[in-house]
Structure formats: C-alpha cells, structure tokens
Amino acid sequence: MNEERMLKPALIGAVLLGVLSSLPPLNCLCCLWVIGGGVLAAHLYVKDSPAPVTLGRGVALGLLTGFIGAIVIALFSIPLQMLIHPGAGIVEEMQRSMDQIPNVPPESRQLFQTLTEKRGLIYAVGLIFMLFFCSLFGMAGGTVGVALFEKRKLGAPPPYQPPAGPPPPPPE
Amino acid sequence: MHSSARCSISISTRAILAVPWGMIVVFIIAAPFLASHSCHNVASVLYYFFFWVCHQIPERSFMLSGFPLAVCHRCTGIYLGMFIGCFIENNAVHGGPQTRRLLVAVAILPLGIDALMPMTGVWTNNVLSRFSTGLLFGILISSLVVHGFAEFMQDAPWRRLIRYLQLKGDLS
C-alpha cells in the first residue's frame, strides 16, 4: 500500500477539522472535530483500499490529518479572528483568560499586557500547541475510523477485480 | 505484514504515547496551581490555549486551590483516561473487526448519551457522569490507539528502510 493514497483523504479530513474547529459557535465542542476529521479520513481511505487496513495505517493517517488540520486551523482562524474582532482579537481573548483568575495584582496585569502585545510569539506558540494537540487527537480519530469502518479481516484476499484492458488476442 | 494476533506491546511504545498525554494532564492541573501561586502570566497562557479546545465553564470544571482546572469535567476525564489507557492491556483490541466496533461503541455511546440527553430534558448529567463517561472513553480509545501505534511503529517508513537495506546487504 502506498503513502500517496493517504494524502487525499487526509486533506479532506483536515479541511473539515480545520474549518469546524475555527468557527466560534462550534469550536467549544472540545476535541470532537479533530477526532471527526480523523474518522472521516479513515473512512475515505478504507473505502478505496483494496486490502484490509490496519490500525497502524489509521494511526499514520490520523497523524497526517491532524498535522495538516492544525495548519488549516491557523490559516482559517487568524483571518476569522481579525474579521470578528478587528484589531485586537487575540489580546481580548487572552485578557478574558486573565479575567478568569481573581485577585490578580496590577503588576502581573501590566506584565501580561506586555506579553499579549507580542502577537507573533503568541501565534507561533499557539501553532505548536495546535500541531501537538491535533496530531494526538487526529491519531485517535484515524484509529477509531479504521476500527469502525474496516469490516474485512486481516489476511483475507482482496476481492477479485477484472482486468481493465481488453483481453489478449488468442495465440495463433 | 502486521498481525492482529495477541502481542505484548513494549513499554517504550506505551511511554511514547503516555508522555504527550501526561504532559497535557500536567498542563491542565498546572494552570490553577500556578494561578494560586501568583504565576498569573503562565497560568493565563495555559488557560488561553485550552480555551481553543474546551468551553472552560467554571461551574463545569474541577476546582483546585479556588481556581478551575484548564478544561471541564468531561475533558479532564478524557485526557486522564487517554493517559491511563496507555498502560492498560485491553484484550478486546486484539479481536476481529466486530469486537473493535463494539469497543468503540462502548466508548462513545455513554459519552454521547451523557452529553446529548440533557438537551432533551429527560435527564440531567452531573459531575460524576461527565467525568466518568469521559474517563471510560479515554481509557478504551487509548487502548485502541496504543495497539495501532505499536503496529505503526512495526511498519514505520524508517523500519522499512532498515529492512530494505539489510535485505540488500544480504543479497550483495
């Protein structure tokens, strides 16, 4: 089985994962979309595979889906944030996290304000976190997808497929 | 190629998966711990990153030293279960496709019912149900992922390259 056939299902799963994880009303559903992207990729891969797919393949596919999905999230959510909160989306959200903590001394608030101004750093660390997180849950999704959709037993021969071309001419 | 036969999974394979899940669990607990020890900046960065993957409603989160954990009850259960599941030998994953589907169903159904039933008004979930269904999901899915990861490691591209080089060396 070749690795190239993994790319298309992984891309489809990653786009679903990335878009749904970035949209504000839907992104509160924890890791559901990341697992869902992995499951979809596994379903597409199993459907097109002539041989039974192993859980190991599901892990590889899920890792790939999660990795690409994290990049899709970054590409999709940054412009979306700028659109929803022009100017200060990420700062507002980090401020919200800070507000969750009661009794924060003013010096800490000041220091935090300086930290939030370093947007490039925040985005870079955020991307690393998402790559790590999505790869892990993507892997879980790919494995779950193979477990759900692979109904053939390992070692079973692939189904017979008639040859694509015309039959060879009879010997003279 | 790979067998779904019962094989003992090496401790190193389990550790490779347990380390990232363990790191996530540590970060989740570290957020309130750091907040209660005046490290508000680091704590709010941790809260901010987990904001992307969880709703973080304080009423639906465990409290530590007066501060909520970085994720909700259900997510805490899932992450903890994923970590614990790395060390649990689950014989069901070595079974056939039907057994694996059953395993996934047992993992997903209680969590799905617990999450969706309150919307119908028939039943209200509580701390214990949210945490325990998340934990069950995490443990069962993690045991499946560990098995898939062991298969993936057996057939990883670098291993295939080593085998190929060994074979080439034998022939020449």
Strand (E) or helix (H) holding B63 = strand B63-64
The verdict on a CB contact (< 8 Å) between B148 and A58 is: yes
Q: Residue A160: what residue type?
A: Y
- pLDDT tens, position by position, for chain A (172 residues)? 457 788 999 999 999 988 888 776 666 666 788 899 999 999 999 999 988 999 999 999 999 999 999 999 888 877 777 777 665 556 666 666 666 666 666 666 666 666 666 767 777 888 888 899 899 999 999 999 999 999 887 766 555 566 666 666 777 6
Residue B18 has pLDDT above 90, yes or no: yes
A112 with B41: Cβ contact below 8 A: yes
**Token reading at A95:** 């401020």
- At residue B5 the predicted structure's pLDDT band, cuts being 50, 70 and 90, is very low
Residue A170 included in any domain: no
pLDDT for the residue A87? 55
Closest CA to B78 of B120, B50, B45, B117: B50
pLDDT at A123: 77
Q: Does some domain include residue A156?
A: no
Alpha helix segments (H runs only) across B37-126? 40-51, 73-85, 97-120
Report CB contact under 8 Å: B24, A30.
Answer: no
Q: What pLDDT score was predicted for residue B3?
A: 45
% of chain B residues with pLDDT over 90: 47
Q: A91-118 b/e with 16+ CB inside 10 Å = b? A: bebbbebbebbeebeeebeeebeebbee
Q: How far apart are CA A98 and CA A110, in angstroms?
A: 11
In which domain, by residue range, is A135 found? 4-89+106-149
Contact A147 B49 (CB under 8 A): no
| Closest CB to B44 among A94, A102, A144 | A94
Residues 57-76 (B) with a CB less than 8 A from some CB of A: 58, 66-68, 71-72, 74-75
pTM: 0.81
Nearest residue, CB atoms, A147 vs list B68, B101, B142: B101
A135 within domain boundaries: yes
Task: Report d(CA A16, CA A34) in Å as an integer.
Answer: 9
Cross-chain residue pair A30–B54, CB shorter than 8 Å: yes
Averaging pLDDT over each range in B1-5, B59-63, B93-97, which range is the top one? B59-63
The answer to whether B94 faces chain A, any CB pair under 8 Å, is no
- The answer, yes or no, to whether residue B2 has pLDDT greater than 70, is no
How confident is the model over B93-140, as pLDDT tens digits?
777 888 999 999 999 999 999 988 888 888 888 999 999 999 999 999
User: What was the pLDDT predicted at A97?
Assistant: 63
Which helix (DSSP H) or strand (DSSP E) does residue B68 occupy?
Answer: strand B67-68
> Residue B99 and residue B91: Cα distance in Å, rounded?
10
Question: Residues B63-86: what's their mean pLDDT?
Answer: 92
What mean pLDDT, rounded, does chain B reach?
Answer: 86
- Enumerate the residues of chain B whose CB falls inside 8 A of the CB of residue A27: 52
Is position A100 within any domain? Answer: no
What tens digit of pLDDT does each residue of B36-54 get?
A: 887 877 888 888 788 878 8
User: Does pLDDT of B32 surpass 80?
Assistant: yes
Question: Would you call A59 helix, strand, or coil by DSSP?
Answer: helix
**pLDDT at res. A148:** 93
Structural domain count of chain A: 1
Q: Using a CB-CB distance cutoff of 8 angstroms, which residues of chain B are in contact with residue A144?
A: 104, 141, 144
